[in-house]
């Protein structure tokens, strides 16, 4: 793929699609990871002397454009990080006259941020062509650096490229996009072995294709979190009141048979931390105990992997050269039920292996537990990193190929 290193943006108008979909609370950014991750590309284009036009979506925008989902707070934070003004075009039309004028007034090295692309409903629809073209009309070069949005075939992510190509412009990927593709792509397609994949999270249903794909690619697949109980049930164990996805029991049986057939190790919890019920509120102090996985009492709920399992999983990580992790091992939001997730995070932090964390909950868990800077790569994509691990071709990644 062509990257920003293959272009010189001097004097050119460069449209950069970022993923500035950051969490906001009362108008304040509560996690700036995605903004920080976008800086290398933006700084390179500024250093080139390009006219840097940034765009992104924010939130779901279910009820039309509104100030609560404006990118204004992002413009402020970006400007602080870059140490230069970011001209925010607050117009809900995104590409309208205000945007055109702002771009016309740009000098080399200036930065403009357009309004939330989802304020134009066309962003998300199949009829987004006109909007794609309006975006392309603003620029000479398009840079896709929005890995977190690359599973969306949206106007500003994928649709725009063909209009850039039509006018003789170039489409390239940014540094963040490149880094994500390198780490996640190499891990799955070309891993240094042994390759251990760790999957957790609540539901088997959310990870069906990830389990199937990673089972083929890895040497050891480790299962934890809520979804482990469906596997344990499929093994014939009684799991009390633990979360079970009854419709997916056959699927779990199939995966266990597949692991045997392929000669892959599939590790399930040998013991589990149980309580009388799910904690309410989630961080409530509750009484827990650990039992072997085949001895969960009928009235108890499994909420974390047990201490023996934590040790078993940490040992598997020790022998790995590549580790991919997606999904917590238990209800990590509760300190009493975070021990399994902490043990796994610690084992990843201590190994010399390449360690890759899928975005979303796992990234949050690793950062919250203070292990963030110990990992080789933490993906900025939640849904996008999952679809990548499924082996899917992502529309944003495809479109970024200069065709
Ligand atoms: C994300 O946060 O996963 C991306 O920004 C995509 O957001 P979306 O799920 O609203 O499309």
DSSP 168: T
Q: What is the mean pLDDT of residues 113-133?
A: 94
In angstroms, what is the span from residue 32 Cα to ligand 1's centroid?
Answer: 15
Confidence of residue 359 (pLDDT cuts 50, 70, 90): confident
- Cα separation, 196 vs 320, in Å, equals 6
Q: Place 295 in a pLDDT band, splitting at 50, 70 and 90.
A: very high
Q: Give alpha helix (H) positions in 139-248.
A: 160-166, 175-189, 208-217, 228-234
Tokens of 140: 């000479």
Evaluate if residue 384 carries a pLDDT over 60: yes
21 ligand 1 Cβ < 6 A: yes
What separation in Å is there between the alpha carbon of 383 and the centre of ligand 1? 7
In ligand 1, the atom with minimum distance to the C-alpha of 152 is 11
Is the model more confident about 189 or about 94? 94
Strand-pairing partners, residue 143, are 16, 172
Q: Which of 94-98, 269-273, 333-337, 368-372 is the least confident region?
A: 368-372
Q: Which of 240, 306, 360, 381 is catalytic?
A: 360
Amino acid 26: pLDDT: 93
- Tell me the CA distances in angstroms from 226 to 202, 235, 292, 367, one per residue in order: 4, 15, 16, 21
Ligand 1 in contact with 382 (CB < 6 A)?
yes
Identified catalytic residue from 59, 372, 383, 391: 383
The reply to whether 50 belongs to the active site is: no
User: Is residue 365 scored above 90 in pLDDT?
Assistant: no
Span 154-174, average pLDDT = 96
CA of residue 192 to ligand 1 center, whole Å: 30
Q: pLDDT at position 368, please?
A: 83
| CB 150 near ligand 1, within 6 Å | no
* 403 has a pLDDT exceeding 60: no
Report the mean per-residue pLDDT for the chain: 95
The verdict on the CB of residue 149 being under 6 Å from ligand 1 is yes
Q: Which of 349, 4, 23 is nearest to 179 (CA)?
A: 4
Q: pLDDT exceeding 70 applies to what percent of the chain?
A: 99
- Report the pLDDT averaged over residues 307-316: 98
d(CA 288, CA 304) in angstroms, rounded, equals 10
65-118 pLDDT tens trace: 999 999 999 999 999 999 999 999 999 999 999 999 999 999 999 999 999 999
Asked whether the predicted pLDDT for residue 261 surpasses 90, the reply is yes
Q: How confident is the model at residue 398 (pLDDT cuts 50, 70, 90)?
A: confident
Please tell me if the CB atom of residue 19 comes closer than 6 angstroms to any atom of ligand 1: yes
Instruction: Give 1's pLDDT tier (boundaries 50, 70, 90).
Output: confident
What interhelical angle do 339-350 and 361-368 show, nearest 10?
A: 80
Of the candidate ranges 79-83, 206-210, 252-256, 367-371, the one whose mean pLDDT is the lowest: 367-371
What is the chain's Cα-based Rg?
Answer: 23
pLDDT at residue 367, as a whole number: 87
What local confidence, expressed as pLDDT, does residue 277 receive?
A: 97
User: Would residue 360 show up in a list of annotated catalytic residues for this protein?
Assistant: yes
Q: How confident is the model at residue 369 (pLDDT cuts 50, 70, 90)?
A: confident
The predicted pLDDT at position 225 comes to 96
The contacts of residue 70 (CB under 8 Å, 6+ apart) are 58, 90, 115, 116
CA 384 to ligand 1 centroid distance, Å: 8
pLDDT at 281 over 60: yes
Res. 44: pLDDT tops 70: yes
Three-state secondary-structure class, residue 222: strand
Query: What's the rounded Cα separation, in Å, for the pair 319 and 84?
Result: 47
Detail the DSSP E strand segments found in 45-84: 51-55
Reported as a pLDDT band with limits 50, 70 and 90, residue 364 is confident
34: annotated active-site residue: yes
Range in 170-184, 286-300, 385-399 the model is least confident about? 385-399
207: annotated active-site residue: no
Tell me if residue 17 falls in helix, strand or coil: strand
8-state DSSP, 3: B
């Amino acid at each position: 793929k062509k990257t920003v290193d293959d272009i010189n943006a001097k004097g050119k108008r460069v449209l950069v699609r970022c993923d500035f979909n950051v969490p906001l609370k009362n108008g304040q950014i509560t996690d700036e990871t995605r903004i920080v991750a976008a800086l290398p590309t933006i700084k390179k284009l500024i250093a080139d002397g390009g006219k840097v036009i940034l765009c992104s979506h924010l939130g779901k925008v279910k009820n039309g454009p509104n100030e609560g989902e404006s990118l204004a707070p992002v413009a402020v934070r970006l400007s602080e990080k870059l140490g230069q003004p970011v001209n925010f075009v607050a117009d809900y039309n995104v590409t309208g006259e205000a945007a055109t004028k702002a771009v016309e007034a740009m000098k080399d090295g200036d930065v403009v941020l357009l309004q939330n692309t989802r304020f134009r409903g066309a962003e998300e629809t199949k009829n987004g062509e006109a909007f794609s073209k309006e975006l392309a009309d603003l620029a000479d070069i398009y840079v896709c650096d929005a890995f977190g949005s690359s599973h969306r075939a949206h106007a500003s992510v994928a649709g725009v490229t063909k209009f850039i190509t039509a006018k003789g412009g170039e489409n390239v990927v940014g540094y963040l996009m490149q880094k994500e593709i390198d780490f996640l792509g190499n891990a799955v397609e070309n891993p240094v072995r042994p390759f251990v994949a760790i999957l957790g999270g609540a539901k088997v249903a959310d990870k069906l294709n990830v389990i199937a794909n990673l089972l083929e690619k890895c040497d050891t697949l480790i299962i934890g979190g809520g979804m482990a109980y469906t596997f344990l049930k499929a093994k014939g164990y009684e799991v009390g009141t633990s979360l079970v996805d009854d419709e997916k029991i056959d699927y779990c049986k199939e995966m266990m048979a597949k692991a045997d057939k392929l000669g892959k190790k599939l590790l399930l919890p040998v013991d589990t931390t149980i309580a009388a019920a799910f904690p309410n509120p989630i961080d409530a102090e509750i009484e827990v105990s650990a039992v072997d996985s085949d001895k969960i009492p009928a009235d108890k709920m499994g909420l974390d992997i047990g201490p023996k399992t934590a040790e078993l999983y940490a040992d598997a990580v020790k022998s790995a050269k590549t580790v991919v992790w997606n999904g917590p091992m238990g209800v990590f939001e509760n300190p009493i039920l975070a021990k399994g997730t902490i043990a796994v995070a610690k084992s990843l932090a201590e190994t010399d292996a390449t360690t890759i964390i899928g975005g979303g909950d796992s990234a949050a868990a690793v950062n919250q537990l203070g292990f963030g800077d110990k990992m080789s790569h933490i993906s900025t994509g939640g849904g996008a990193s999952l679809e990548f691990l499924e082996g899917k071709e992502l529309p944003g990644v495809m479109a970024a190929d200069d065709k």
